[in-house]
Amino acid sequence: MITSFCKHQQFKRTLAEYRENLYRIAYSWCHNPALADDLVQETLAKALKNSGQLRDQKTIKAWLYRILSNCWRDHFRRSKDTVDVDDVVLVEKDTPDSCHDRQQIVDRVRSAITCLPMGQRKVITLVDLEGCTYIEVAQILDVPIGTVMSRLSRARKALKERLLEAEVQGTPNVHQLRTAR
């Protein structure tokens, strides 16, 4: 009885740790803070109710994201018939110009990253794009943590130089970034 209670309390704490991530994902899907919060609440309630279905604690992240995805889909099923098209106000914050500008920046950064040596490219993508810790990257690449830190430092410096150089030259194409060493 006590061990079951302790496991249940630990499970609640684990769920609480994922709350912020779940909210971020839900908000990115719906762009509505209240709805995102409702989706997260529903996700956590279902996770608590169905905790016995989780076979491996290592897969809890994917399991919670799947529940959230199902809650999102259920929300659309419930609200499908109740939304009147005439009542929907379409307000787009992103203009074609801002989307284009943002895409150009993304393209420049991607191009600059492809110019980096492979070791630096691996480290910068794992740390800065995927959010891995230095320790995780060291384990993934099977290198010392000091190597990860030095490669990351060099990669960021080179990336900054390439992007600043490209900005001075105007809107670069991929070939300009590759030859600008």
Q: Read off the pLDDT of residues 130-180 as tens digits, 9 standing for 90 and up.
A: 889 999 999 989 999 999 999 999 999 999 998 888 777 765 444 444 444
- Give the tokens for residue 172: 């670069």
Backbone angles phi, psi at 115, to 5 degrees: -80, -15
Enumerate residues 6+ apart whose C-beta is below 8 A from 134.
127, 145, 148, 149, 152
Q: Is the pTM of this model over 0.85?
A: no
- Dist. CA 181–CA 115, nearest whole Å: 9
- Dist. CA 49–CA 126, nearest whole Å: 35
